[in-house]
Structure 1
Amino acid sequence: MDFHIIRVARTVLNVTDLDRSRKFYIDALGFIETKSTDTHIYLRGLEEIHHHSLVLQKAQSPSVEVISYKVANDKDLNALEHLFSSKGLKTKWMDKGSQHAMGRALRTQDVSGLPIEFFHEMNQVERLLQRYDLYKGSRVQRIDHVNCAVPNVQKAHDFYCQELGFSCSEDTVDEDGMLWASWLHRKHSVHDQAFMNGVGPRLHHIGFWLPDPLALIHACDVLASLDYAQSIERGPGRHGLSNAFFLYLRDPDGHRIELYNGDYLTCDPDVGPLHWQLDDPRRQTFWGAKAPDCWFDEASDVLDIHTGEICQAEEPLLKKKKPEFII
C-alpha cells in the first residue's frame, strides 16, 4: 500500500451544552482540558502527548462530525485521497489551520457512509502520565477504539482489511458463516475500529483506555457521588470478545463512552482472528449478565462531510429477533 495508517486518534462530537458536557467529561471522568473556546472543548487523556483525542463541539443537536485516524506521513493523505476517489467515495480537504492544532486533513465518507478523517500533523503538548496529582475520575489514559453500527458488516470488513490494511483480531459469525461483527486493528491491540450489525451508519461508542480495572470501579463511585449514576448504562464487567474489562456510559447528550482496560497484544502477523459463534453467550459478557435493550438499539447519528446533514440510516442486512450477539 502507498500509505500507512497508524491508529484511531480522535473523534468530534456535537453536543448541545458545553458547560454540562464539561462537568461530565472533566469533573466526573477526569479528562484533561487542553483548550476551550465559546464553541469547542479539546480533551485528552493523561498519557496522550497530542493536543486532543476528543472534541466537544457546540451544536443544536447531538451527532458525530468525524472519526479521525493518524497516518505516518503527510504524503499518505494524497494516496488515500486517490484510493477513495477511485472508489467513487466522497472526499473533502480540510486545510491546515481550519481545525485547531492540526495540519491538513482528508475527510471521506467510507463504504458504509461513516465520516472518517485522516491526518498526520497535530500539535504536541505535555504528557501527564506521571502527574499523579492530576489523576481524578476514571483516570482516563488515551483513546483506544471506536465501534460503529453498519448495515453490512462484511462489506465494511472487506474494505478496511483489503483496501486500508487493517487486520482482524476477532469476529462473530452465525451458523451459516455470515459475519455479524468484526474487530479490526492497526495498532497492536484488539481493535481500533469495530463494526457491528445494526441500523447504520451510526457511531455506537468511543472506547477510552484506563490504567487498570480498579479505575473502572472508582469511576462508578465518582459518578454516583456526583449524581451521574443514571449515566451508567452497562457494566462494569468483562467481555468474552477482547477479554477486556468494560463500563459503558451515556454522556448528557446520549453519546456512548466505553471505559476500557485489559485486552491483549495482536502484533504477530501469523496469528489469525479468533472466531466466536453467534449463539455463544460468553461473547458479550464473559460473566453472563446481559446488556440492556438500549445498548443494542441506540447509537449516535453521523454527518455528511459536505452537507453537514445527518446521514440516512439503513436497516441491517442480517436480522434476528433480538440481537444479543455483539459487544
Structure 2
Amino acid sequence: MPLPKPNLYPPFNIVRLSHVELAVTDLARSRAFYVDTLGLQVTDETVEAIYLRAMEERGHHCIVLRKAEAPEARDLGFKLYDEEDLEKAAQFFRAKGLPVEWVERPYQSRSLRTRDPLGIPLEFYCRMERLPPIHQKYALYKGVKPLRIDHFNCFSPDVDASVAFYNEIGFRVTEYTADEESGRFWAAWMHRKGGVHDIAFTNGRGPRLHHTAFWVPTPLAIIDLLDLMATTGWVANIERGPGRHGISNAFFLYILDPDGHRIEIYCSDYQTVDPDLEPIKWDLKDPQRQTLWGAAAPKSWFEHGSLFAGVEPRKASLDAQPIVAP
C-alpha cells in the first residue's frame, strides 16, 4: 500500500489520546502494581474501580482499573477540541455504518462510544474534570515517576486498513515498517499530539491491545523501577528491556501487570509537529528497527496482547515475521 498523504483537514479534530479502561480481576493487586510500584496517583477509588493520573496530567484520569471476572481492554479514549467536533465525529462514524452511542462517564463531559472498522472500541469526549497541578509536588514522585500517558499500540489483522482509516481522521504517519515482498505495511506509528505516536499498529492476530505507554523523565527512572520490581516481588513481570528502539529512538521497558496487560515505560522520542515531516521507513528484516541496542524482543512480545471487550480477534492477513529472540 502506498503511504497515504497526510489529511491536514480531517472531518473532526482530535487533540491527543486521553485514557484507557482496563478490566482487572483483583483491584488490590492492581493497585499495588500501578500505584505502589509504578507511582501513578489515585484520583478516585471505589470498591469497583480505581481512577489514576500521572504527574503532569491535569485531567482527572488517564487510566481506569475496573474490577471484572476476566481481564480485558475496554475503550481507548481520545480528547477532541470542542462539542462541535464531537457532533462531527458522531456524523462521521454514523456515515461509515459504525456504531454511535452517547454515554455518560464519571468526570468527563458527554462522550461518544464507537468502534473503528476493525473493531477497536473508541471513546471521544471534549472536556474532563480538571485537577490542581501536582508536577512540582516532588514528594509524590514514586516508582518510575510517570509523567503522562503517551500512546497505545494495537495488534491489527490488517495494518494497511488501520493506517488508511486513522489517516482519514487526521493521524499522521511518523515511522513505518514495510514488507518488501508484498509492499504492505507490517507496522505504523501515527500521531496527533506531536510526538512519534498516539497510536500504533502492529501486524498480528487482532484487534488486540498490545500495550499502553507512559512517558517518564529519564532512562534513570526506568533503572530505578527495575531495581524496585526486582526486590518487591515483581521481577517475573519484567518482559523486555531496557533498551532503545530504532523506531522512535525511545528508551524503553516492557512490563506486565498482574492480569497480563502490557505497559511500556518510555522516554526520549522526538518532536513531529511539522505537517510536512517525512515519515521514516524501516525494513522488516532490519533488527535495529525494533531494538537499536539491547536484547531482541521475546516471542511473547509478538504474540501476547489484551483482548478488547466484545471483539473476536482474527488472524493477520499478512504472513510476515521480523526477527524474534530464541
| Paired residues of 1:29 and 1:138 also in contact (CA < 8 A) | yes
| Paired residues of 2:244 and 2:294 also in contact (CA < 8 A) | no
For residue 289 of structure 1, report the CA deviation from its aligned partner: 1.7
CA–CA distance in 2 between the matches of 1:59 and 1:109?
21
Amino acid at match of 2:171: F
| Paired residues of 1:29 and 1:219 also in contact (CA < 8 A) | yes
For residue 3 of structure 1, report the CA deviation from its aligned partner: 1.9
- Which residue of structure 1 aligns with residue 5 of structure 2? none
Question: Which aligned pairs between 1:123-272 and structure 2 lie closer than 5 A?
Answer: 123-162=129-168, 164-176=169-181, 177-272=183-278
Q: Indicate yes or no: 2:309 matched with 1:303.
A: yes
Amino acid at match of 1:147: N
RMSD (Å) for aligned C-alpha atoms: 1.0
SS state at 1:77 partner: helix
- Which residue of structure 1 aligns with residue 60 of structure 2? 51
Please give the per-residue CA displacement for 1:145-170, whole angstroms capped at 9, x wherever unaligned: 000001000001011102x1110100
CA–CA distance in 2 between the matches of 1:66 and 1:239?
27
SS state at 1:35 partner: strand
- Which residue of structure 2 aligns with residue 308 of structure 1? none
Question: Which aligned pairs between 1:105-124 and structure 2 lie closer than 5 A?
Answer: 105-124=111-130
- Which residue of structure 2 aligns with residue 277 of structure 1? 283
CA–CA distance in 1 between the matches of 2:75 and 2:323?
28
For residue 108 of structure 1, report the CA deviation from its aligned partner: 0.7
Amino acid at match of 2:25: T
SS state at 2:88 partner: helix
Amino acid at match of 2:68: A
SS state at 2:170 partner: coil
| Paired residues of 2:284 and 2:322 also in contact (CA < 8 A) | no
Q: TM-score, normalised by structure 2?
A: 0.94
CA–CA distance in 1 between the matches of 2:62 and 2:195?
18
The answer to which of 235-244 and 216-225 deviates more is 216-225
For residue 2 of structure 1, report the CA deviation from its aligned partner: 4.1
CA–CA distance in 2 between the matches of 1:169 and 1:69?
19
Gaps spanning 5+ residues in structure 1: where? 305-310
- Which residue of structure 2 aligns with residue 23 of structure 1? 32
CA–CA distance in 1 between the matches of 2:85 and 2:274?
24
Q: Indicate yes or no: 2:42 matched with 1:33.
A: yes
CA–CA distance in 1 between the matches of 2:278 and 2:124?
27
Indicate how the Cα distance of structure 1 residues 84 and 28 shifts in structure 2: closer, same or farther if over 3 A, else same: same
Which consecutive segments of 4 or more residues in structure 1 shift more than 3 A?
Answer: 322-325
Q: Indicate yes or no: 2:84 matched with 1:83.
A: no
Q: Indicate yes or no: 2:101 matched with 1:101.
A: no
CA–CA distance in 2 between the matches of 1:152 and 1:15?
28
- Which residue of structure 2 aligns with residue 324 of structure 1? 323
Please give the per-residue CA displacement for 1:194-221, whole angstroms capped at 9, x wherever unaligned: 0000000100000100011111111101
Q: TM-score, normalised by structure 1?
A: 0.94
SS state at 2:44 partner: strand
For residue 323 of structure 1, report the CA deviation from its aligned partner: 4.1
| Paired residues of 1:281 and 1:288 also in contact (CA < 8 A) | no
CA–CA distance in 2 between the matches of 1:323 and 1:149?
14
For residue 324 of structure 1, report the CA deviation from its aligned partner: 3.2
- Figure out how many residues of one structure are paired with residues of the other and give that number: 314
| Paired residues of 1:242 and 1:263 also in contact (CA < 8 A) | yes
The answer to which of 77-86 and 143-152 deviates more is 77-86
- Which residue of structure 2 aligns with residue 312 of structure 1? 312
CA–CA distance in 1 between the matches of 2:82 and 2:208?
29
CA–CA distance in 2 between the matches of 1:74 and 1:110?
20
CA–CA distance in 1 between the matches of 2:309 and 2:83?
25
CA–CA distance in 1 between the matches of 2:313 and 2:11?
32
SS state at 1:194 partner: strand
Which residue among 66, 82, 91 is the counterpart of 2:75?
A: 66
| Paired residues of 2:243 and 2:294 also in contact (CA < 8 A) | no
| Paired residues of 2:241 and 2:294 also in contact (CA < 8 A) | no
Amino acid at match of 1:312: E
